[in-house]
């Protein structure tokens, strides 16, 4: 079970969640341990540059939408240029709406 499973289940149920992810892949946009508020995703409003809670090849990430393909797939990457890969809408659960220290 990934670090975000509890939050993903809450998002699937329509609840906004708050958590403090750890790591440096999203610096300086999100610093390790900052409080992140994530709301259930509305895929029709999702844009390149949005930060989403998603799952890629079994791993959970709070990363950036780098591109949106015409076939409805989303390219996900971190804030340092790494691309994690392409995922479908079924693998995106929430969109970041706030970051606090």
* pLDDT at site 2: 80
Give the global pTM.
Answer: 0.94
Listed as ranges, residues in the chain with pLDDT below 70 are 1
Integer angstrom CA distances of residue 58 from 34, 37, 54:
24, 22, 10
Sequence spans of domains, the chain: 5-100
Q: For the segment 23-38, what is each residue's pLDDT rounded down to a tens digit?
A: 999 999 999 999 999 9
CB 8 within 8 A of CB 17: no
CB 4 within 8 A of CB 60: yes
Return the CATH class of domain 5-100.
Answer: mainly beta
- Collapse the DSSP code of 2 into the 3-class scheme (helix H, G, I; strand E, B; otherwise coil) and give the result: coil
């Amino acid at each position: 079970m990934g670090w975000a499973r509890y939050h993903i289940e809450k998002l699937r149920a329509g609840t906004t969640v708050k958590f403090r992810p750890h790591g440096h892949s999203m610096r300086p946009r999100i610093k390790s341990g900052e409080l992140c508020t994530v709301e259930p995703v509305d895929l029709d409003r999702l844009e390149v540059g949005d930060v989403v809670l998603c799952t890629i090849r079994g791993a959970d990430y709070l990363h950036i939408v780098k591109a949106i393909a015409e076939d409805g797939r989303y390219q996900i990457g971190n804030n340092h240029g790494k691309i994690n890969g392409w995922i479908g809408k079924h693998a995106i659960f929430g969109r970041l709406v706030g970051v606090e220290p």
